[in-house]
């Protein structure tokens, strides 16, 4: 048990990324960390956290504005903490088959914050996702839930072990 406080913040439009953040938070808690999961919009001050995991969904090749703004608002404090970033996107198995590099805005945040790592997880687009484009994509067989809980949990355990090593 390290008892470190970890913030898991997410920028999500329709809940898929929120689900990934919840899984990360659960896993970190199983590992003995004090993990809090919050929407990125609600994060005003990261000073009470020892480490931060920040994720956002991808739309038209861009990272969630909510996640990006959170990174920008808190950059002075994030720079002095271990930070991990993630993206949730591909609605196919590509994220499972090979590493998908961060989109340019995320790569820029990695650099600015000195983030430890970035990972792209498969996303989710289902019949219940709002929006005409989403519905049309699903109708044409382009949808599905490609979030892989095992892969998400493995990454979260990896974060726990890095934090334990640093303790
Ligand atoms: C209109 C639209 C555009 C999308 N563009 C991308 C994209 O450029 N890259 C990507 O990997 N996924 C893309 N996706 C898939 C979403 O990123 C995926 O559904 C994600 O898990 C949604 O997360 P959220 O529910 O948290 O917003 C797109 C989905 C829609 C509906």
Q: What's the pLDDT score for residue 136?
A: 85
pLDDT digits (tens, 9 = 90+) for 7-26: 999 999 999 999 999 999 99
H-assigned helices in 50-148: 65-73, 75-78, 94-97, 104-113, 132-139
Could you tell me which residues come within 8 angstroms of residue 50 by beta carbon, excluding any fewer than 6 positions away?
4, 5, 6, 81, 82, 163
Segment (H or E) for 26: helix 16-30
Q: Distance (Å, rounded) from C-alpha 85 to C-alpha 93?
A: 20
| Residue from 88, 92, 149 to probe ligand 1 pocket by mutation (most atoms less than 8 Å from CB) | 88
CB of 81 closer than 6 angstroms to any ligand 1 atom: no
pLDDT digits (tens, 9 = 90+) for 25-84: 999 999 999 999 999 999 999 999 999 999 999 999 999 999 999 999 999 999 999 999
Phi, psi of 49 (to 5 degrees): -105, 145
Task: Specify the CATH number for the domain of residue 123.
Answer: 3.40.50.360
CA 123–ligand 1 middle distance (angstroms): 7
CA 124–ligand 1 middle distance (angstroms): 7
Residues in a beta bridge with 36: 7
Number of domains composing the chain: 1
Which domain does 46 fall in, by range? 5-166
Q: Distance (Å, rounded) from C-alpha 164 to C-alpha 108?
A: 27
CB of 123 closer than 6 angstroms to any ligand 1 atom: yes
Examine the pLDDT at 6 and tell me if it is beyond 70. yes
Q: Report which ligand 1 atom has the smallest distance to the Cα of 60.
A: 8
Q: Report which ligand 1 atom has the smallest distance to the Cα of 134.
A: 31
CB of 96 closer than 6 angstroms to any ligand 1 atom: no
Ligand 1 atom 31 nearest Cα: 134
């Amino acid at each position: 048990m390290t008892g470190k406080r970890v913030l898991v913040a997410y920028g999500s439009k329709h809940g898929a990324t929120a689900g990934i953040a919840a899984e990360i938070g659960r896993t970190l808690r199983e590992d003995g960390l004090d993990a809090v999961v919050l929407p990125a919009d609600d994060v005003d001050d990261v000073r009470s956290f020892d480490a931060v995991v920040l994720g956002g969904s991808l739309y038209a090749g861009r990272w969630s504005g909510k996640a990006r703004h959170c990174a920008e608002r808190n950059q002075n404090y994030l720079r002095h903490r271990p930070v991990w970033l993630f993206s949730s996107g591909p609605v196919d198995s590509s994220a499972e088959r090979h590493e998908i590099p961060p989109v340019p805005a995320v790569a820029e945040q990695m650099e600015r914050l000195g983030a430890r790592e970035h990972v792209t997880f498969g996303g989710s687009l289902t019949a219940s996702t709002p929006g005409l484009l989403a519905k049309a994509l699903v109708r044409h067989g382009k949808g599905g839930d490609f979030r892989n809980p095992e892969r998400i949990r493995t990454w979260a355990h990896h974060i726990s072990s890095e934090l334990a090593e640093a303790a």
